[in-house]
Each structure stands twice: as structure tokens, then as C-alpha cells.
Chains A and B, each alone.
Chain A
Amino acid sequence: MIPTHYFLILSAILFTIGVVGVLTRKNGITIFMSIELMVNAVNLTFLAYARQFHQVHGLIFVFFIMAIAAAEAAVGLAIFITLFHHRDTIDVDEANLMHW
């Protein structure tokens, strides 16, 4: 049996990598992939706690998170396709229409 905090530490490391990716990259698709990485880190935390407390609720939360991540990916990628057709780039610094 692997202790729960091993999984929590792995999840924290993956989440931090995702945060660094969102903060330092300019490519919109890469930023999006970093967000997916953070979502997966949170899923791992949910499952670790579900096993720690023997609760099925954590698994069902992960199920819902996966469904919502699919919806988010579909809409977000559609937005990036639209942005690419307007600006010919997916550099997020170029998406400054609402910039002051």
C-alpha cells in the first residue's frame, strides 16, 4: 500500500509544472495543455483522498471533471481556431482586442 501523501506530493509537482507552463508560455495551445495538466493533478488528488477515506464520491467527482474538461477543450479549441482565422497566429499576446 502506497501512502496517500506520496500521491499528494506527485499531484503538487504536476500542478506546479502546469502553473509554470501557463505563466511562461505564449503559444495558446501549450497554455491549454498546461491547464489540462493541472486538471489531471487535481483528479489525482481526488482519487488519493477517495481511497484514504473509502468514499466513492471522489471518483464521481473525477468523472464529472473529465466530462467538463472535454467540454472545455472543445470550446477552447474552437476559440483558438477563430483567433487563428482572424489574426493568423495563436500567440496569446496578439489577442489584445480588449486590451486597454
Chain B
Amino acid sequence: MEFAIFFFFAAVAVIFALVVVLHRNPVVGALSLVASFFALAVMYVLLEAPFLAALQVIVYAGAIMVLFLFVIMLLNLQHVAEPVTRPVQQFLGYTSGAAFGLGLLYYIVKYAVFAKLPAGPFVTDARTIGIKLFEAYVFPFEMVSILLLAAIVGALLLSGRQYQKREAAP
């Protein structure tokens, strides 16, 4: 049963990821990416990390992808045809990507041979993560909060000023 769930959602994740890369309409790509992230959240549940699965749905599928969709619709990109990539770039991209993927798979199959999983339950509830986060990882946690503040200021500075310039120019 677990294997059936794994293979079904792995197929969903891979197929929607392929749609993201191959489809020419960015709105379809963004929605497929949301579907792929939901499938990955199921993977997180299978990996005994339900808290991270909830974060994946809320932060990734909820917040980040909505930001992507808003930008796509704000720029009105769904009607803009993407120019076709040069054949040389396509050939090099596909072949080097395939070579990279095959190398990765080769080394995983050859070297990623693990002993059996350790016995006992793997406790990963929000309480355990919170205690770890505020004991061992307090400094990185504060650094991330400062980084997020810097990102807010940077995003406002980058995207806010252009509108004023446009209105002032004519």
C-alpha cells in the first residue's frame, strides 16, 4: 500500500515537473508546479515529516507560488509568446542535462546502499523541531529573520520605484 502511494505520487510529481519545463504558457507551468509541490508534500508525509509537509503546502504551494502567479498576471504574460530557443542551445541543454542526470543516477545506484533503517520511531513533530530550533539553531534562525527583512526591503526598492519614474516621465 505504501509503495502504491509512493509510485503514484512520484509519477504525479515527475509528470507535472515535466509540464513546467516543457509547456510554453507560464500560467500552466505555475499551476503544474503547485501540483508537483503537493505530490512532494505527500512524499514528506511518507518520510515521517508531517510538519514539514504542512510547511510545504502552506509556504511553497500557498505563498511562493501565489507570488509567482501574481507576477505572471501583473505582467500579463499569458498572452506573450515565448520566442523559440535556438536549436544549438536546445541540443546542448538536453544532452548535458541528460548526461548530468545519468551520472547522478549512476552514483546513487552504485554508492547509496544503506543499512536498514534504525529501529524505533523517528519523532519529528512540531514540538521537537521547535525545541531544536530555539536551542541549537537560534543564531541561524535570527539570521534568517534578518535576511527576510532585507529581502522585503530589497523587493520594495527594486519594484516600487519604477512606477514613480513612469508616472513622472510623460
Binding site for B on A (CB under 8 A): 1-10, 12-21, 23-27, 29-30, 32-34, 36-37, 40, 43-44, 47-48, 50-54, 56-57, 59-60, 62-64, 66-75, 77-82, 84-86, 89-91, 93
Determine chain A's interface SS by DSSP, over half rule: helix
Closest Cβ neighbor of A3 among chain B residues: B114
Q: How far is the CB of A86 from chain B (nearest CB, A)?
A: 8
Closest Cβ neighbor of A17 among chain B residues: B17
Q: How far is the CB of B80 from chain A (nearest CB, A)?
A: 7
In whole angstroms, what is the CA distance A7 to B5 when docked?
13
Closest Cβ neighbor of A62 among chain B residues: B52
- Report which of A47, A66, A81 forms a contact with B159, defined as CB distance below 8 A: A81
**Chain A hits for B158, CB < 8 A:** 75, 78-79, 81-82
In whole angstroms, what is the CA distance A47 to B40 when docked?
11
Check A8 against B112 for contact (C-beta < 8 Å). Answer: yes
**Chain A hits for B47, CB < 8 A:** 7, 44, 47-48, 50-51
A-B interface pairs (CB < 8 A), number: 232
Interface size class of B (residues with CB under 8 A): 35 or more
Q: How far is the CB of A6 from chain B (nearest CB, A)?
A: 7
Check B83 against A91 for contact (C-beta < 8 Å). Answer: yes
- Report which of A16, A24, A27, A93 forms a contact with B90, defined as CB distance below 8 A: A24
Check B85 against A24 for contact (C-beta < 8 Å). Answer: yes
With A71-B148, A77-B71 known as contacts, the answer to whether A25 contacts B108 (CB < 8 A) is no
Q: A78-B154, A82-B158 are in contact. List 9 more A-B contacts (CB 8 A).
A: A4-B117, A16-B98, A47-B47, A67-B144, A73-B68, A78-B159, A81-B159, A82-B162, A85-B162
Check A56 against B43 for contact (C-beta < 8 Å). Answer: no
Closest Cβ neighbor of B141 among chain A residues: A64
**Chain A hits for B14, CB < 8 A:** 10, 13-14, 17
Check A90 against B75 for contact (C-beta < 8 Å). Answer: yes
Check A5 against B46 for contact (C-beta < 8 Å). Answer: no
With A34-B21, A51-B122 known as contacts, the answer to whether A9 contacts B162 (CB < 8 A) is no
With A20-B93, A23-B97, A59-B49 known as contacts, the answer to whether A10 contacts B68 (CB < 8 A) is no
Q: How far is the CB of A27 from chain B (nearest CB, A)?
A: 5
Closest Cβ neighbor of B80 among chain A residues: A89
**Chain B hits for A47, CB < 8 A:** 43-44, 47, 49, 52
- Report which of A7, A19, A20 forms a contact with B43, defined as CB distance below 8 A: A7
